[in-house]
């Protein structure tokens, strides 16, 4: 007989399946857009602008989508956002125009992050204090693995065709099926109160800086790294394998980084990760681009860039006292992460117009800055440190609620 405290994934399996389908489509399309635009002759500046609109839509979703969800409910909202996302995907295959595509990317970003907010609020509703960490761990693993699978799908079909937009639409449709048939009770979505970025900077400056720069790295990786690979290798196959290997490296490193950060402290781990990213970026700058060496550097890069956001969240939990609202601080850090993701394609797109290896140069400079900035900050006593929690690289505005550290705040 199952006890009350026994954890079972079965009642919420439909949510995880939906997350998996969405992440596969998200990972595939987000990577493919840059490749396709490059082959169509768009400049890196234009590619950066178009990709940035996706994250602009994501920022909009974190602000406005909750009102839609609260008004019509989770299932109807999910169908609405999924429909918008499918329209965005199929619209790409109908007509190629850079301004039109930027609008479609804006809609896709808004819809995708709205879908994440719906799924995360459902997971939060079904998460007890006892099982919250398990649910978040499963969410993280599924998200990374599904995103990696999305990269492998880039080997299907001809990049000059529109098969990827059709596949992406089918994947989103599958997620609708599982959500439409779910019997899970719809939760009540509470309004989000927001802290100002200057206020959070005064409370947890290192956490805020790490969130923004971590978002810059991950946003730049997904949007502009495929463009760089196509320019240098002219192979969608290499794009696919490189992106997959990097994401798998990120997944495998999450738990070791958590163990070391609990022992050494967040400040040292943020500094170590930053200097590690700087070293790997320097290796990219100095490499001759042998593809196997490139794959190895990609795996190591994933170890560094995907660790900064969870380390930033852990640092915030360490430095705030019980009188501060850690949940709202965490949401603000996530917002800063989104701003970094938005800034990355803009900045890298312009910079790479003048300097071919600008993506690695920007990674090198920013990581070097963050490493020294982390070392300049005060060490947190061991007794005041919270536990490290692995979190997915891309999250909606509800993900801080899933963090088990909030239960003690």
Computed over every residue of the chain, the mean pLDDT equals: 86
C-alpha–C-alpha distance, residues 251 and 393, integer Å: 10
| CB-count exposure of residue 137 (10 Å: 0-12, 13-18, 19+) | middle
Q: Is the confidence at residue 188, as pLDDT, over 80? A: no
The yes-or-no answer to whether 12-192 and 195-379 have a common fold is yes
12 or 239: whose pLDDT is higher?
Answer: 239
* Residue 2 to residue 223: CA distance in whole angstroms: 46
* Helices assigned H by DSSP within 181-265: 197-203, 205-233, 236-264
Percent of the chain with pLDDT over 90: 51
Residue 1: pLDDT band (50, 70, 90) is: very low
Residue 409 has pLDDT above 60, yes or no: no
User: What pLDDT, on a 0 to 100 scale, did the predictor assign at position 146?
Assistant: 94
What gap in Å lies between CA 72 and CA 128, rounded to an integer? 26
- Report the SS3 class of residue 224: helix
296-310 tens-digit pLDDT:
999 999 999 999 998
- Return the residue matching tokens 């999450």: 254
Q: Is the pTM of the predicted complex or chain greater than 0.85?
A: yes
Q: How confident is the model at residue 139 (pLDDT cuts 50, 70, 90)?
A: confident
Tell me the CATH architecture of domain 12-192.
Up-down Bundle (1.20)
State mean pLDDT over 169-197.
79
pLDDT greater at residue 331 or residue 159: 331
Q: What is the pLDDT of residues 211-266, one digit of tens each?
A: 999 999 999 999 999 999 999 998 999 999 999 999 999 999 888 888 888 888 88
Residue 321 pLDDT more than 70? no
pLDDT at 193: 59
Average pLDDT of the residues in 270-283:
96
SS3 of 15-35: HHHHHHHHHHHHHHHHHHHHH
The span from the CA of 109 to the CA of 338, in Å, is 11
**Total residue count of the chain as it appears in this document:** 409
Parse the chain into domains and list their residue ranges.
Answer: 12-192, 195-379
- Per the model's pLDDT, the better-predicted residue between 400 and 289 turns out to be 289
The CATH code that applies to domain 195-379 is: 1.20.1250.20
């Amino acid at each position: 007989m199952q006890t009350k405290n026994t954890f079972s994934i079965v009642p919420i399996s439909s949510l995880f399946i939906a997350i998996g389908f969405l992440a596969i489509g998200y990972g595939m399309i987000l990577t493919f857009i840059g490749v396709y635009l490059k082959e169509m002759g768009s400049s890196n500046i234009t590619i950066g602008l178009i990709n940035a609109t996706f994250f602009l839509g994501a920022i909009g979703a974190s602000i406005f989508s909750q009102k839609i969800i609260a008004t019509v409910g989770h299932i109807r909202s999910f169908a609405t956002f999924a429909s918008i996302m499918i329209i965005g995907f199929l619209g790409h295959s109908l007509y190629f125009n850079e301004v039109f595509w930027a609008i479609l990317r804006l809609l896709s970003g808004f819809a995708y992050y709205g879908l994440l907010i719906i799924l995360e609020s459902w997971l939060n509703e079904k998460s007890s204090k006892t099982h919250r960490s398990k649910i978040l761990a499963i969410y993280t693993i599924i998200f990374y693995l599904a995103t990696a699978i999305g990269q492998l799908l880039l080997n299907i079909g001809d990049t000059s065709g529109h098969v990827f937009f059709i596949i992406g639409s089918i994947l989103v449709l599958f997620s609708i099926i599982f959500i439409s048939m779910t019997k899970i009770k719809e939760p009540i979505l509470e309004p989000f109160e927001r802290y100002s970025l200057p206020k959070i900077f005064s409370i947890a400056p290192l956490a805020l800086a790490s969130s923004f720069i971590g978002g810059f790295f991950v946003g730049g990786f997904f949007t502009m790294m495929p463009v760089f690979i196509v320019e240098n290798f002219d192979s969608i196959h290499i794009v696919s394998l490189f992106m997959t290997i990097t994401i798998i490296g990120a997944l495998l490193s999450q738990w070791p980084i958590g163990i070391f950060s609990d022992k050494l402290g967040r400040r040292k781990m943020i500094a170590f990760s930053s200097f590690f990213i700087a070293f790997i970026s320097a290796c990219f700058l100095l490499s001759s681009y042998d593809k196997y060496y490139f794959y190895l550097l990609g795996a190591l890069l994933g170890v560094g860039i995907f660790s900064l956001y969870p380390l930033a969240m852990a640092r915030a939990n360490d430095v705030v006292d019980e009188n501060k609202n850690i949940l709202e601080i965490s949401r603000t850090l996530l917002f800063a992460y989104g701003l970094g993701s938005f800034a990355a394609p803009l900045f890298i797109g312009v910079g790479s117009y003048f300097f071919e290896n600008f993506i690695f140069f920007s990674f090198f400079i920013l990581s070097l800055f963050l490493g020294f900035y982390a070392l300049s900050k005060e060490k947190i006593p061991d007794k005041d440190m919270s536990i490290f929690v692995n979190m997915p690289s891309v999250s909606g505005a509800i993900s801080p609620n899933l963090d088990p550290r909030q239960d003690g705040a």
